[in-house]
């Protein structure tokens, strides 16, 4: 099985130590947060429902990726993440009823993923996903009219994602400087799990805001 392009601290310090069939046990199990949130997040139309379905796929793909550390598992994790960010944009952009931008965005993603799968350059995915999230939040913050309730949930979504991303970035720092936590009782051991939980919480608040569209 082809190895993934990226490795996480749990794989470096505790690979297959809990069970011989799951490489990163904690990083795998924490994907339950995505599945749970996908089932409880609100929606009022088909586009919004697709966001929740895609989050469910993110959880399943991420579980498989962390369980196997395979390249195909990595794609099963990353592709739904990119599609989810696109679905966010579609929902938010529908506030302005602009199908043209949605179409341009769709073709851009297809072209990007063709390049990414060909080159297998992980940094390209990081740049794309960050760009996609910036586009979503920028559009929602500056381009659409919002109720106070929506603003509150949007702030919660941004805060949850920022904290989650901070945990993600801290773990990458530990990995790259060969300081991965080996003590399973330390909070630093679960940094990638915090990323899963925090980004799942961010999704819930995004959907809560989007589903309460101002008429």
Helix or strand or coil: residue 213?
coil
Tally of domains in the chain? 1
Residue 18 inside a domain? The answer is yes
- Decide: helix, strand or coil at residue 3: strand
Bridge partners, residue 19, by sequence: 22
For 48-52, 61-65, 118-122, 138-142, which range has the lowest pLDDT when averaged over its residues?
A: 138-142
Q: How confident is the model at residue 121 (pLDDT cuts 50, 70, 90)?
A: very high
Q: How far apart are CA 172 and CA 186, in angstroms?
A: 17
d(CA 96, CA 31): 33
Range of the domain at 24: 9-210
| 4 Cβ contact list (under 8 Å, min separation 6) | 65, 69, 70, 71, 73, 74
Residue 1 has pLDDT above 90, yes or no: no
pLDDT per position as a tens digit, 11-28 = 999 999 999 999 999 999
As a whole number of Å, the end-to-end CA separation of the chain is 51
- Pair of tokens at residue 132: 């996609």
Q: Is residue 4 part of a domain?
A: no
pLDDT, tens digit, 9 for 90 and up, residues 48-92 = 999 999 999 999 999 999 999 999 999 999 999 999 999 999 888
Tens digits of per-residue pLDDT, 88-117? 998 887 655 567 777 888 899 999 999 999
Tell me, yes or no, whether 47 lies in a domain: yes
Q: What's the mean pLDDT in 156-174? A: 97
- Whether 3 is in a domain gets the answer no
Examine residue 37 and state whether it is found in any structural domain, yes or no: yes
| DSSP bridge pairs for 70 | 3
Residue 116 in any domain: the answer is yes
Residue 15: per-residue pLDDT? 96
Q: Tokens 């598992």 correspond to what residue?
A: 73
The predicted pLDDT at position 215 comes to 35
pLDDT band at 195 (very low <50, low <70, confident <90, very high): very high
pLDDT at residue 120 greater than cutoff 50: yes
Nearest CA among 62, 45, 67 for reference residue 211: 45
Q: Which residue has the higher pLDDT, 125 or 93?
A: 125
Residue 1 lies in a domain: no
Q: How far is CA 215 from the centre of its chain?
A: 29
Would residue 2 count as lying in a domain? no
């Amino acid at each position: 099985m082809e190895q993934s392009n990226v490795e996480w601290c749990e794989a470096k310090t505790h690979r297959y130590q809990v069970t011989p069939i799951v490489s990163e046990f904690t990083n795998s199990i924490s994907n339950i947060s995505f599945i749970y949130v996908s089932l409880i997040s609100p929606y009022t139309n088909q586009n919004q429902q697709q966001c929740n379905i895609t989050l469910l796929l993110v959880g399943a793909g991420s579980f498989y990726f962390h369980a196997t550390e395979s390249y195909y598992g990595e794609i099963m994790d990353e592709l739904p993440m990119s599609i989810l960010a696109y679905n966010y944009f579609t929902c938010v952009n529908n506030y302005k009823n602009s199908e043209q931008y949605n179409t341009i965005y769709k073709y851009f993603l297809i072209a990007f993923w063709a390049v990414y799968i060909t080159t297998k350059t992980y940094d390209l995915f990081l740049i794309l996903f960050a760009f996609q999230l910036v586009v979503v939040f920028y559009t929602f913050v500056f381009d659409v009219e919002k109720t106070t309730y929506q603003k509150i949930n949007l702030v919660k979504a941004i805060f949850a994602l920022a904290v989650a991303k901070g945990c993600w970035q801290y773990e990458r720092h530990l990995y790259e400087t060969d300081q991965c936590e080996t003590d399973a009782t330390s909070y630093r051991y679960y940094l990638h799990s915090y990323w899963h939980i925090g980004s799942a919480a961010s999704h819930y608040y995004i959907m809560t805001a989007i589903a309460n569209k101002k008429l």
